[in-house]
Amino acid sequence: MSVVRCLICIFSLGFVIFVESLGVNWGTMATHKLPPKVVVQMMKDNGIQKVKLFDADKSTMSALAGSGIEVMVAIPNDQLAVMNSYDRAKDWVKHNITRYDWHGGVTIKYVAVGNEPFLKSYNNSFLNTTFPALQNIQNALNEAGVGDQIKATVPLNADVYGSPEDNPIPSAGRFRTDINSQMTQIVQFLDQNKAPFTVNIYPFLSLYGNDDFPMDYAFFDGATNPIVDNGIQYTNVFDANFDTLVSSLKAAGYGDMPIVVGEVGWPTDGDKNANSNYAYRFYNGLLPKLASNKGTPLRPGSIEVYLFGLLDEDAKSVAPGNFERHWGIFKYDGQPKYSIDFSGQGQNKFLVPAQNVEYMEKQWCTFNPNAKDLSKLADNINFACTFADCTALGYGSSCNSLDANGNASYAFNAYYQAQNQARLSCNFQGLAMLSTQNISQGNCNFTIQIVSTSSSGCSAGPSLLGFAILALFTFLFS
């Protein structure tokens, strides 16, 4: 687009202006999920018109029906091998795409085939199944008569390309040599079907684990020492990363291929650089940039971007880092974390929260100060944190300053809430007790969980049975 185009949506609260090329990621890896209809209404209340999913869950799709929100549905990595069968791919399209293709149904634009399947840490697990799955899904879409408006794409991590160490500039970008043949196949097929290349770019990860990375280069408010590439100054890592991809595509013969940024964002907990102030700073630079439609030095113009993510997810794997559970613009219960302006005009304010959220009783599980035997305290804390989210206790995180008793209380309460406040889940061999007083301390929030459909199903841990086994084990071997 050559000019700024925004969607103007009229709600009961007034005008909500939203950059048209902007969407959000809606992940659902949580022990207690907000009802899908509540989340969809929250998106509508905030003018969000695009959403990227990580599956095609029926309840989510049903809630999106009739909303007018444009959707990217997804096929998880563990289903890629199955999609190597064209019959199975056609069946998937029938049950997850065409069944919603009716007036007042779901407005599906993309199908994400896998999620970062060539990530180095996956050790080539999906190397040979991704491209056949992409082919079959797009061909099935074409056969179903929806291939012109719905495109299959593969969201890839930015580690699929890079510049050589001896020439680390965007114009030297190339696809990884170990996957070059697969990337060439994918890019050719995307081009044949007029589908975009989808990439996930995370400036935060440039900082994570690398204390030598210049802090200001991760944001958009100027860098002290910009990278200079053939006279072009790069003052932020987002532009540099994006243009490294542009150069990689050009080297492969597809320099004009459309690019979608499938994920970009900033976490608010779980690391010393993950907090609301930095998230605010990041979005306060990214969103005006997107609204300006300036693009990047090698790709001027509008960029289609999906922010990551909509909500915190307390059941995500923390293998990459504790921050993984804290990417949400909203907290787990749909409450906004900081002010933001989706129009990119700098008129930051708190977003409209989720409505009609039902919480559990206002009671917390806390360390029992009258406990006599503390010899099993560490074991019980470890047990609680194995089956609940204790990432806020980590170094540099929001609850890192708690004392030993505070750490125990946080862990016990996290487990108690994850177990739907089942009374026996707040015992921990006499080390815990219930309290009706909010035991939150400073910036460290001791949560009360929400009531959700997921809380009545599979729990996050072994619940009372597991605790009984732990108690029996301790009794037998103490």
Cα 477 to chain center, whole Å?
42
Helix and strand counts by DSSP (H, E) for the chain: 11, 17
Sequence-distant (6+) residues with CB within 8 A of 150 are: 97, 108, 109, 110, 111, 141
- Is the alpha carbon torsion for 149, 194, 50, 96 positive or negative? positive
Whether 116 sits among the annotated catalytic residues: the reply is: yes
Tokens, residue 143: 């056969």
Classify 36 as helix, strand or coil.
Answer: helix
Q: Which of 116, 304, 313, 324 is catalytic?
A: 116
According to DSSP, the β-strands at 151-153 and 107-113 are: parallel
Whether 324 sits among the annotated catalytic residues: the reply is: no
Q: Which of 20, 165, 263, 313 is catalytic?
A: 263
Q: How many Cβ atoms sit within 10 Å of the Cβ of residue 216?
A: 14
Write down the H helix ranges in 257-298. 276-292
Please, are residues 471 and 429 in contact by the beta-carbon 8 Å criterion? yes
Please, are residues 141 and 189 in contact by the beta-carbon 8 Å criterion? no
Cα(277)–Cα(281) distance, rounded to whole angstroms? 6
Burial call 179-193: b when 16+ CB within 10 Å, e when fewer: bbebbeebbebbbeb
Rg, Å, the chain Cα set: 24
Please, are residues 359 and 246 in contact by the beta-carbon 8 Å criterion? no
What are the residue numbers of the active site? Answer: 116, 263
